[in-house]
Amino acid sequence: MLDDIERVLISRDRIEARVRELAEDITRDHATGRSPDRAELTMIPILTGAMIFCCDLMRYIPMAMKIGMVTVSSYPGTSIRSQGPSVLGKQLGDIKGRHVVLVDDILDSGGTIRAVVPMLQELGAASVRVCVLLRKNRPEAMATPCDYVGFDIPDEFVVGYGLDYDDYYRNLPDVVTLKRSVIPPHRAES
């Protein structure tokens, strides 16, 4: 698996530092006018890619918190281009009147966020803020409203820290690019 890496785009140390900063921003924004131990929020990671990021993020937010989950597929199988979002499942609990932070691993087309945010609003969330680890330098991504962004990255296919290729590489601690020999040429066009 390590032999498949072309280069490390974002190291685990940079990720950890940025996750702490994002947690501070989220805490500050949701505790305005009250102490963090009196504020509450609901964290909703988009599975499976945002799972690791959300777990690390939550550990640095000193607030009462509930957790929901939503499963969305945009990259089925070995596809490296978004095929459009499809909500596969949700376990949200009652979010009516709650402040929600939707957590995603990567923002590239904006389709997932445009599909999930209105769903959460329709379920009665008091507010919905979006936190993404990575935002690709693409017009669609830059035009999609997002409250918290970990890193802006070039428009490249990346894996690691929760992001995958065919369900592999999620456990890498860094965000990396893969060697061209790992991704068959016909997949690059998918």
Cα 169 to Cα 178: distance, rounded to the nearest angstrom: 10
CA-CA-CA-CA torsion sign (45, 48, 54, 55): positive
**Residues in a beta bridge with 129:** 101
The enclosing H or E element of 24 equals helix 12-30
Both tokens of 125, joined, read: 């969330």
130 within 8 A of 115, measured Cβ to Cβ:
no
Q: Which of 69, 68, 70, 58 is nearest to 30 (CA)?
A: 58
Cα 120 to Cα 127: distance, rounded to the nearest angstrom: 9
| DSSP secondary structure letter of residue 179 | P
Scan for tokens 């890496």, then name that residue. 5
Q: Report, as residue numbers or ranges, the catalytic residues.
A: 108
100 within 8 A of 41, measured Cβ to Cβ:
yes
Cα 117 to Cα 154: distance, rounded to the nearest angstrom: 25
